[in-house]
Amino acid sequence: MQAIENILSRNSVSKLEGPPPSREEMDIVYKSALRAPDHRWLRPSEFIEVTGDGLKKLSKIFETFSNDNIKDIDHVKLEKYKNAPFRAPMIIILISNIKIHPKVPEIEQMLSTAAAAQNILLTLSALGYGAIWRTGAFALNDKISNYLGLDDSNKILGYIYTGKSKIKPKKIPDIDIDNFVTKWD
């Protein structure tokens, strides 16, 4: 029942502070992530864990990319992108390492990594951490992948920002499932 309660109460937390999860906690997080559905056991999900000085490196990558690739970027937008990595003490970059397989298309491998991301979010929540999955201009972007030293088989599906929540958990409204479920009897 505790697992179900965690799922039903999980929500995105954008205001985060230190400390980040410990090494032992992150081992649990990654083990949970790698239990996601995975057709043919291809293991497409990979992660880059960014903390400390790594956040400065990621900031520089975002700044360089923005200057080189976003036409007519203004100072305000550039500062926003440059400061994005400092919104949390840890960022987990979600990567789907696509393998050529006759029965497992690229989209299935990306969906496996998306399921791994959900497991990460749920596990972080269960461990008492806040987290938010961000995408935007820096996700599914081959140039960002290259800046990170990844090859063309790697797709960045987003960035999970995590740490301790700075804010009180928000109340999640009840959802009327009848608006989302069609039943065939």
Q: For 56-87, what is each residue's pLDDT tens digit?
A: 999 999 999 999 999 999 999 999 999 999 99
* pLDDT surpassing 90 at residue 172: no
- For residue 82, what are the contacts with CB-CB under 8 A and spacing of at least 6? 59, 62, 63, 66
Domain that holds residue 83: 7-179
Q: Residues 153, 105, 160, 76: is their CA dihedral positive or negative?
A: positive
> Taking the complete model, does pTM exceed 0.85, yes or no?
yes
The pLDDT score that the predictor gives to residue 67 is 93
Q: Are 146 and 116 in contact (CB under 8 A)?
A: no
Q: Are 102 and 31 in contact (CB under 8 A)?
A: no
> Domain holding 57: CATH number?
3.40.109.10
The pLDDT score that the predictor gives to residue 38 is 93
Residue 89 lies in a domain: yes
Single-letter amino acid code for the residue at 160: I
- For residue 138, what are the contacts with CB-CB under 8 A and spacing of at least 6? 62, 65, 81, 84, 144, 156, 159
- For residue 172, what are the contacts with CB-CB under 8 A and spacing of at least 6? 8, 9, 11
- Report the number of distinct structural domains present in the chain: 1
Residue 185 lies in a domain: no
* pLDDT surpassing 80 at residue 1: no
Tens digits of per-residue pLDDT, 81-134? 999 999 999 999 999 999 999 999 999 999 999 999 999 999 999 999 999 999
Single-letter amino acid code for the residue at 157: L
Residue 184 lies in a domain: no
Residue 62 lies in a domain: yes
